[in-house]
Amino acid sequence: MDGTPRLPGGLLGCLVLAICAPAPAGATQNQIPMSENPFFTESTLPFHYPRFDLIRDADYMPAFERGMAEQKNEVEAIASNPEVPTFENTIVAMERSGRILARVSSVFFNLKDADTNDELKKIESDVAPLLSAHNDSINLSAPLFRRIEALYTRRSDLGLDPESLRLLERFRTNFVRAGALLSQADKERLKAMNAELAKLLATCGQNVLNEKNASSVVVHDRAELAGLTDSEIASLQDNARADGKPGDYVIRIQNTTGQPLLESLQNRALRERIMDVSLARGSRGGPYDNQEMVEGIARIRAEQAALLGFPNHATYRVADQTARTVEAVDGILAKLVPAAVAKAHREGADMQAIIDGEQGGFRLAPWDWTFYSERVRRARYAFDEAQLRPYFELNHVLFDGLFFAANRLYGITFKERNDLPVYQPDVRVFDVYDTDGKPLAILIMDFYARPSKLGGAWMNEYVSQSGLLGDRPVVANHLNIPKPPAGEPTLMTFDEVTTLFHEFGHGLHGIFSHVKYPAFAGTSVPRDFVEYPSQINEMWAAFPEVVRNYAKHYKTGEPMPQALLDKMLATQKFNMGFETLEYLKATLLDQAWHTLRSDQIPTDIAAFEASVFRRYGADYDAVPPRYRSTYFQHAFAGGYSAGYYSYIWSDVLVADSIEWFKAHGGLNRASGDRFRSTVLSNGGSVEEVSLFRDFTGSSPDIGPLIRLRGLDE
């Protein structure tokens, strides 16, 4: 779930994010009538869909202030209640608290990623330490924790149902992990660290976006763009005009190290220039340099972990995930890194053979990989990626692929609507109907890249499902597909198609949520489990029955020829050494930074990164990490610190589950309904490994993953 994690409802969600907590309110918020701020009352639109048509930037800070003051009063009333603590007057009351804060937080933190501006950036910087301070005022409240501890001590006598018991246990765990057992002096130290960290995280995230936008590569001569299509070149001209550079061509840098156009550009010097700019982000001085941010974030996290009794931040984080221990994470990495490196070397040798055969006179470099891998693909399978794009038009993929598969699996249907307000003209909205034809959720789709948008792809919720509050989900998926020139179709790469299916897997996790408490809604699960449903949904993008239904030529409507489809499916393991290794190298960086003590934080980031790769035998320079530390949004500005391993950890579960689906007939309602009932509907209300076992009937095994990725070949 790339990007900033969504903000679930209820106080427990605030504890998980460690930013969602009210601070002392200023006088301003008390002077604003309730009717004048759209966050002060619930939206009257279906499912409390946000009033994007009424929300102004000026509304956010007053709403944060009033929301924080309201929740502060509610929580103080709970903590000082003279009655004996009960589950209802303590835990449920806390779950009901902070509704204004939940509304403004869900919209603000979604839009500051999806459609930011200078004012939102300033608000984020201003509000982050305030939210951190109030979060501490709740998490570190001794009277409140005494009530929770009293309930926890006699939990076996309370007669709670399983979901309620799990909620009580989660509250107690989260309060302890937030520092509730510390001395008062140590609590004050922790508060100071949290405030400093909140500022650094906000600045780091803004620097990543600003540097991405500032790092565009300008080309003056069209001849340098040989290999690109006319449509791609027209898009670069549009970028240049938007940047005030008419007559030039502007290549925008995307979030990851690798850049899409490197696959097609024939000019090696330009490819190198693009890769150099991408790799240098956040580490070349200037206003968006993130080196001090990364070092400061790593240092504070290490200090916090030590204060809470953990040897390092990774141990602290993983203890609350399904992996449980750093040793378990290292164990899976130790099995995968050597296999990925070996396969990547074999792939690189195939490309070097082409270079040498053409008397190229150079060694394969990172900026050459995707260009020459396409040459290998064409030679081996007699086709290239460019042949696929005419068959991957966005609307065909959306309606005849994504929605088709969801209907076949789960029986749900979709209808686009144009009567609800949106925050940006390209955004589209869909009603989701359950098997009985009744409204189930609202789905927001934001497909296109733009300078105001965070790179990558992610899922958020504006409203989370909750039986307690009577809320039903409003779910949003975000991608970064380059927008074509006006009047032209949106033709996708297969990677973009797969990403669409991936993010919709997160969306289904929110849409099918059927829990009582907002703390457990949808994707409110450990980071190393949250990617499991999304990566399961990826499988349908390449499933023959689904591909045949959506892969239609955008001009003729003719289906993709069977021979081309067969070639595409035959390449599913192609280049998997590279794809696995670039991901693992980023994972190794995340783990390495977060297993350091505070006195071990390096000041030479490039040297540190190189030493990490050498230590793990991953120092194959032709394959760069998917993210370098200075633009590693997941680890240093998102919710995946010491958790980027989650994708491969979930992939172990996914590979097992793919074998289960195939053994049970693939795309059918019986299998879909089983996955919905055992995994998707339960959110975080049941222990995660139990959900997996309930679905597959077995424990996870790494063997299917190694076979699926072709790492055993």
- Which of 385, 503, 531, 582 is an active site residue? 503
User: Pairing relation of β-strands 428-433 and 413-417?
Assistant: antiparallel
Kindly state the tokens that stand for 633: 């949004």
Give the whole-angstrom CA distance, residue 241 versus residue 415.
36
Nearest alpha-carbon partner for 139 in 1, 303, 289, 19 = 19
Q: Give the SS3 label for residue 453.
A: coil
Task: Please give the structure tokens belonging to residue 142.
Answer: 């001794």
What lies within 8 Å, CB to CB, of 23 at 6+ separation is 65, 68, 129, 130, 131, 133, 134, 137
Q: Which among 612, 620, 573 has a CA at the least distance from the CA of 595?
A: 612
Report the distance separating Cα 422 and Cα 446, nearest Å. Answer: 10
Q: Are 210 and 448 in contact (CB under 8 A)?
A: no
Please state, in angstroms and rounded to a whole number, the distance separating the CA atoms of residues 639 and 527.
Answer: 8
Single out the residue of 251, 289, 368 nearest to residue 624, CA to CA: 368
- Rounded CA gap, 299 and 293, in Å? 10
Residue 703 has a CB neighbour count (10 Å cut-off) of: 13
Radius of gyration of the chain (CA): 25
Q: Are 490 and 483 in contact (CB under 8 A)?
A: yes
Contact 326, 314 (CB under 8 A): yes
Strands (E), 112-214: none
Count the Cβ atoms, other than its own, within 10 Å of residue 49: 17
| 342 closest CA partner among 584, 635, 507 | 584
* CA atoms of 82 and 14, how far apart (whole Å): 25
Query: What is the DSSP secondary structure assignment for residue 307, as one 8-state letter?
Result: H
| Token pair belonging to 553 | 């030529």
How many Cβ atoms are within 10 Å of 169's Cβ, its own excluded?
13
Helix (H, G, I), strand (E, B) or coil at 16: helix
Q: Is 538 a catalytic residue?
A: no
What secondary structure does DSSP assign to 526-573, as a single string? -HHHHHHHHHHHHGGGG-HHHHHHH-B-TTT-PBPPHHHHHHHHHTTT
With a CB cutoff of 8 Å and minimum separation 6, the contacts of 480 are 254, 255, 448, 449, 453, 455, 456, 457
The Cα 369–Cα 366 span in angstroms is 5
List the one residue out of 508, 522, 457 whose CA is nearest residue 13. 522
Residues involved in catalysis: 503
